[in-house]
Amino acid sequence: VTISTELVASVEIAHEARTERVPAGPADGPVLRVIPGDVVHVAALLGRDPRLAPAMAFGTLAGGASLVGLVGTHDGRSFVERAELLRDAHPDLIVALAPDRGDVNGMVELAEALRFGCGHQQPPPHILVSADERVRARIAASCPANAIEALPDLRTPAGRQALVARLRALRRRAQGDVVLRDEALEAAARSMSASAGADVALLDVTGGSTSVIHARPDGTVLGIHERLGVGAAADRVVARAGLDRVRRWIPRAVEAPALLERVFNRARWPDAIPASVLALSLEMALAREAIAHALADAERAGVSLDAAWASPLLVLTGRLAQLPRAAQSLLVAIDVFGATGATLVSRSPGDTLVAAGALAARGRAATMPDPDPIAIVAEMWPRRSATVRVTDANGVMEERVVRGSFLLVPTKGAVQIELPRTTVRPSARSLELGVVIDARGRPLSLPPRDAERIPTLARWHAALDVLPAEKR
Amino acid sequence: MPWRYSRWTADHPLSLGAGERAAVGQEVHAGDVLAAGTTYGTPVRVTGARRLGVAPEDLARVMRVPVGGEVERKTVIARTGRRFARAVSSPLAGRVIHQRADGDLFVAPIVGRWAVRSTLDGEVSRSDDACVSVRGSAWALQGVAGYGPNAIGEIALAVDSAAGELQPSRIDVRLRDRILIAGARATAESITRAHACGVAAVVAGAAPAGGLRVVYGDEATASGATTGPDAPTVLCLIGFGMAPLPRDVFAPLAALAGARAAVHTASARLFVFAPESAGDFAQDPPSLALSDDWLGARPIDEQLTLAGVTRFASEIEAEAVATKDGAVPVANVLAFDAPRTPRS
């Protein structure tokens, strides 16, 4: 296979163990490869400014890396504890952030702990230093075996972009000229937003990663990419969320140990297909928690998601878009992505959007395939009973909505809806399902006891006809 | 091939504080100590080069105890001058663990000791403070996940068939230092009993994931768990839950009973130290099928035939293979030796 970014004939997208080519069939010319990228472990040495830790977390989320260790000049750890933490983390990259001159001595302490802990690590991790020349020189003296590079202030967009570029270069290492999946998705979101003239939020869940991307028509893109997924990283979702948080989304009684068995087996079975309804429910539950944790991590890192919540367009890709029923993709998305207004939810099954995004990421003119519109979701929390008017090819339908309502209004042809207390009239040319009115309130609260939780979930699933009937 | 006789490399990462290490090129046997060291308490920083009036890079020249050396309280670590001597002495008993770039030293008390043993017969190919690697020849079986510390012992069959489950009642102290072959499933109860009886390791087709979390804590993932030396060792060959071993995997294990072996948990491999001519073990890899609800895996003994695109209970339509128990998605069928971690 010829690898080239020039005159690309097809794009090859890597999944867990298989690859898909767009257009399908044997390659007839140069191929551009899209890969998830290597796992990159990053450890950070932080000065006193409390804004450094969130900035570091934001940078690693945006760059799709894993933040495996944070040591601070004032974290109270001893020299040996810091060295052990860094050694166990086995970092591929170290980021030292010391914007204040008063951090010099503390930063040298951390650099010495780094040399003590990771002095024999092969290859020695590069150190990116965001500090003045004096601090950089002191760190270089303490860690002579490590290559030192300067980094702009990570609290600024320029610093973050520099870190993201460095992390992506590391994730591509030894892979030749390739496009990372998250790069491709960001380029696709940017392009879709520009052509729609509206904000676009994109949710991508694969076996090994979860991305939440928000693009504005002016070209600015915010991307959060985490190693949480429904396949190879499924066990990481359980480790992060806890088994009960995954289990609570399954609309039937399931024993926790048996559920964990399924998660572990899926994690070690690349590209496995959920052949049973229960396995499919588990995949949906894992997707919910993966997205929820990506969003929570972003908020913890100080990322404002208000604009993303308010996006009028929500596009679903990856495994999330490949669930057999559109209602399944839709329910997973709206259960955890709490949009603040009416949102047109679409999905792009297959890899065509990723392929077009990869070409766009390489600066090539690429036409974004139109995703399939599933539904307009109107989220509301009315103080008293309110009326939603839906107009489609069959005429006008009115629905009374009270708190807790969750219903689907099937539609045909062009759709427009009128919501109470707003002059915005969301519309679409056609929808696979129709209009979903979601008055469940946010954050969603699920009863803890199975006796109440399962009927609640069953009601939500039945409203959208999410799961097929099981043969017993 | 599930079983392969080859030259393997086993890495043995070291903790901080390695005091002695095997040299590169040294011949070792599985079970031999490759490295030994100490664990440290809270260290004390001692002014070094500045106190002696020497440049930091000259400090090593005047040190009487090198970095890494053990000291008693008030031991002179470094000294300069004759009539007007300047000296640096240790404030506590322990080890000189580190020299800073500015010439200061860290001295830490010793709070414990550790040793790392080889999991291969062979020669040391790398030896530094981070890792000691050993390269050697052995029969090996690749598993999916290893839990606990590395283990060395003799292979002992603890089940009657490849589909058998390890029963706690079959484990007693006579199996001390053995590597037990546990068939389709090793429960948490049998793992903890085996550990209590001094069994070196348990090798099974599968172990219950919940049980592994009970034994190893919530940090145990599908990729394994590394622990201290006081935990049991478990090697899952196929997956989690229940997974009968294929005939081509189990028969050599039965034939190799009594042979010296080792479990290297980081790479999830079972090494067996038997001659290459021990048997005709290197066969084509058997196929494994993940159950529809992902609750376990089973070997497929029959010839695989494609069943075309099939619609499953989940409404997913996918290429399938026909088995005697019904259609299975092609994606859910893997060769025993197929890579089980995704490509990057």
Whole-complex ipTM? 0.93
- The residues in A 68-127 lying below 8 A from B, measured between CB atoms, are 78-80, 83-84, 87, 108, 112, 115-122
How many CB atoms neighbour CB B25 within 10 A?
A: 9
Q: Is the torsion defined by CA of A357, A360, A361, A362 positive or negative? A: positive
- pTM comes to 0.94
Report which of A217, A239, A244, A243 is spatially closest to residue A228, judged by C-alpha positions: A239
- Report in angstroms the alpha-carbon separations of B293 from A208, A261, A273, B245: 20, 10, 10, 19
pLDDT interval class at A6 (50, 70, 90)? low
CA geometry: angle B37, B43, B46, nearest 5 deg: 115
- The residues in A 352-411 lying below 8 A from B, measured between CB atoms, are none
pLDDT digits (tens, 9 = 90+) for A352-366: 999 999 999 988 777
Q: Nearest-CA residue of chain A relative to B103?
A: A142
Q: What is the pLDDT of residue B284?
A: 86
pLDDT interval class at A3 (50, 70, 90)? very low
Question: Looking at residues A447-470, what average pLDDT do you find?
Answer: 93
Q: What is the pLDDT of residue A471?
A: 64
- Both tokens assigned to A438: 């979601």
- The residues in A 39-58 lying below 8 A from B, measured between CB atoms, are 39
The alpha-carbon radius of gyration of chain A (Å, integer) is 24
pLDDT digits (tens, 9 = 90+) for A328-379: 999 999 999 988 889 999 999 999 999 999 999 988 777 889 999 999 999 9
The CA distance from B52 to the nearest CA of chain A, in Å, is 20
Mean pLDDT of chain B, nearest integer: 94
Q: Do B221 and A272 touch (CB under 8 A)?
A: no
- Judged by phi (left if over 0) then psi (alpha if -120 to 50, else beta), residue A372 lies in beta
Q: Is the torsion defined by CA of A453, A459, A462, A463 positive or negative? A: negative
Greater confidence (A175 vs B103) lies with: B103
Segment (H or E) for A347: strand A343-347
pLDDT exceeds 90 at position A445: no
Q: What is the pLDDT of residue A25?
A: 74
Question: Looking at residues A76-80, what average pLDDT do you find?
Answer: 95
Q: Which residues of A touch B332 (CB under 8 A)?
A: 269, 272-273, 275
Residue among B101, B210, B332 whose CB faces A273 most closely? B332
Residue among B42, B290, B313 whose CB faces A277 most closely? B313
pLDDT digits (tens, 9 = 90+) for A111-121: 999 999 999 99
Q: Which residues of B touch A267 (CB under 8 A)?
A: 221-223
Q: What is the pLDDT of residue B33?
A: 97
pLDDT interval class at A424 (50, 70, 90)? confident
pLDDT exceeds 60 at position A319: yes
Q: Which residues of A touch B145 (CB under 8 A)?
A: 268
Q: What is the pLDDT of residue B85?
A: 87
The CA distance from A194 to the nearest CA of chain B, in Å, is 31
Q: What is the pLDDT of residue A472?
A: 55
Q: What is the pLDDT of residue B287?
A: 94
pLDDT exceeds 90 at position A27: no
Residue among B42, B240, B315 whose CB faces A264 most closely? B240
> Rounded to an integer, what distance in angstroms lies between the CA atom of residue A71 and that of residue A65?
17
pLDDT exceeds 70 at position A172: yes
Any B CB within 8 A of A241 CB: no
Q: Do A276 and B316 touch (CB under 8 A)?
A: no
Q: What is the pLDDT of residue B342?
A: 66
Q: Do B293 and A108 touch (CB under 8 A)?
A: no
Q: Is B314 helix (H, G, I), strand (E, B) or coil?
A: coil
> Rounded to an integer, what distance in angstroms lies between the CA atom of residue B142 and that of residue B133?
18
pLDDT digits (tens, 9 = 90+) for B31-78: 999 999 999 999 999 999 999 999 999 999 999 999 999 999 999 999
Segment (H or E) for B262: strand B260-264
Residue among A84, A235, A282 whose CB faces B16 most closely? A84
Q: Which residues of B touch A235 (CB under 8 A)?
A: 221-223
Q: What is the pLDDT of residue A393?
A: 93
Q: What is the pLDDT of residue B343?
A: 57
Percent of chain A with pLDDT over 70: 98
> Rounded to an integer, what distance in angstroms lies between the CA atom of residue B287 and that of residue B305?
12
Any B CB within 8 A of A324 CB: yes
pLDDT digits (tens, 9 = 90+) for B277-315: 988 887 889 999 999 999 999 999 888 899 999 999 999
B62 neighbors B54 (Cβ within 8 angstroms): yes
pLDDT exceeds 50 at position B246: yes
pLDDT exceeds 60 at position A255: yes
Report which of A230, A198, A459 is spatially closest to residue A331, judged by C-alpha positions: A459
Q: Is the torsion defined by CA of B63, B65, B68, B71 positive or negative? A: negative
User: Chains A, B: CB contacts under 8 A, how many?
Assistant: 190
- Both tokens assigned to B114: 């550790």
Greater confidence (A115 vs A26) lies with: A115
pLDDT interval class at A1 (50, 70, 90)? very low
Least confident stretch, A5-14, B113-122, B178-187: A5-14
pLDDT exceeds 70 at position A10: yes
pLDDT interval class at A173 (50, 70, 90)? confident
pLDDT digits (tens, 9 = 90+) for B106-144: 999 999 999 999 999 999 999 999 999 999 999 999 999
- Report in angstroms the alpha-carbon separations of A412 from A316, A392, A396, A437, B162: 22, 6, 11, 16, 58
Paired strand residues for B180: B156, B202
- The residues in A 286-315 lying below 8 A from B, measured between CB atoms, are none
Q: What is the pLDDT of residue B82?
A: 73
Phi, psi of A134 (to 5 degrees): -65, -45
Q: What is the pLDDT of residue A4?
A: 44
Q: What is the pLDDT of residue B177?
A: 95
